[in-house]
């Protein structure tokens, strides 16, 4: 047990400054999203760039490529949040239909199976299917967040719960702790956005 704890301690201490800075910016970014602050977008762009470097070094290739997608969706979300329409100054929180929820689940599961198979057969990915699960549902959650859909938080809860174990196993202890905190923040974010949704007369 002491040897395991010693190994974990050295892993935390030896983590690169890139991983540490990405951890801090990740927490800041989620806090800004919960507050529906536009500052979440520039902070997020820096954070995902740093995360891409960390995931490449850890051979978590699906997560690495996911950061490129994040850059595109963050840019889109920045534009979408600042251009609601001519009738509203601020983009409101909305919800998916039942068909939309089922469609997202089908896409997430299908993406996990296909991407996991590709990584397992064509790369030296460390944990192909788990990596693919995190990446697939992160794509869906990020897109829903950009559209300001309440269900994005449920998606992040799934992603964060899986990521805690994956990143711990990969020796990314800072990121494992980060995603544990992300899980707590996702729960808080859901209730904050739910209040916002109800305040618009939809609840």
Whole-structure pTM over 0.85, yes or no?
A: no
CA quadruple 81, 83, 85, 86: dihedral sign: positive
What angle separates helix 98-122 from helix 128-146, to the nearest 10 degrees?
A: 140
Q: Check if the beta carbon of residue 76 is closer than 8 Å to that of residue 146.
A: yes
138-147 pLDDT, tens digit each: 999 999 999 9
User: Which of 17-31, 83-97, 106-120, 162-176: highest mean pLDDT?
Assistant: 106-120
66-100 pLDDT, tens digit each: 889 889 999 999 998 888 766 666 788 999 999 99
Number of Cβ within 10 Å of residue 164's Cβ equals 19
pLDDT score at 94: 94
Once rounded to an integer, what is the mean pLDDT over residues 4-25? 63
pLDDT score at 78: 92
Phi, psi of 149 (to 5 degrees): -90, 135
Query: How crowded is the C-beta side of 147, counted as CA atoms within 13 Å?
Result: 14
- Percent of all residues in the chain with a pLDDT value above 70, rounded to a whole number: 89
Angle at 90 between CA 85 and CA 96, to 5 degrees: 80
Once rounded to an integer, what is the mean pLDDT over residues 14-42? 87
Q: Hey, what are 141's tokens? A: 């959650």
Question: pLDDT grade, residue 201 (50/70/90)?
Answer: low
Indicate whether 162 pLDDT > 50: yes
| CA atoms of 155 and 157, how far apart (whole Å) | 5
Q: Check if the beta carbon of residue 196 is closer than 8 Å to that of residue 188.
A: no
Strand partners, 94: 149
pLDDT score at 152: 97
Q: Check if the beta carbon of residue 140 is closer than 8 Å to that of residue 107.
A: yes
Structure-token match 């690169």, residue found: 16
pLDDT score at 13: 38
pLDDT score at 112: 95
What angle separates helix 40-57 from helix 17-34, to the nearest 10 degrees?
A: 150
Q: Hey, what are 21's tokens? A: 């800075």
Query: How crowded is the C-beta side of 1, counted as CA atoms within 13 Å?
Result: 0
């Amino acid at each position: 047990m002491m040897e395991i704890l010693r190994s974990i301690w050295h892993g935390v201490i030896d983590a690169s400054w890139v991983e540490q800075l990405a951890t801090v910016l990740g927490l800041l970014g989620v806090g800004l999203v919960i507050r529906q602050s536009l500052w979440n977008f520039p902070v997020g762009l820096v954070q995902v760039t740093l995360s891409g470097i960390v995931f490449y070094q850890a051979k978590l290739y699906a997560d690495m490529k996911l950061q490129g997608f994040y850059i595109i969706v963050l840019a889109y979300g920045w534009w979408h949040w600042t251009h609601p329409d001519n009738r509203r100054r601020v983009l409101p929180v909305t919800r998916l239909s039942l068909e939309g929820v089922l469609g997202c689940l089908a896409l997430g599961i299908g993406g996990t199976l296909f991407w996991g198979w590709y990584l397992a057969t064509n790369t030296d990915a460390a944990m192909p299917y788990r990596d693919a699960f995190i990446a697939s549902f992160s794509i869906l959650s990020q897109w829903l967040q950009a559209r300001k859909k309440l269900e994005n938080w449920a998606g992040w809860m799934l992603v964060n719960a899986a990521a805690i174990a994956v990143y711990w196993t990969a020796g990314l202890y800072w990121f494992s702790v980060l995603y544990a905190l992300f899980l707590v923040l996702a729960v808080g974010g859901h209730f904050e956005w739910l209040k916002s949704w109800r305040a618009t007369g939809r609840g």
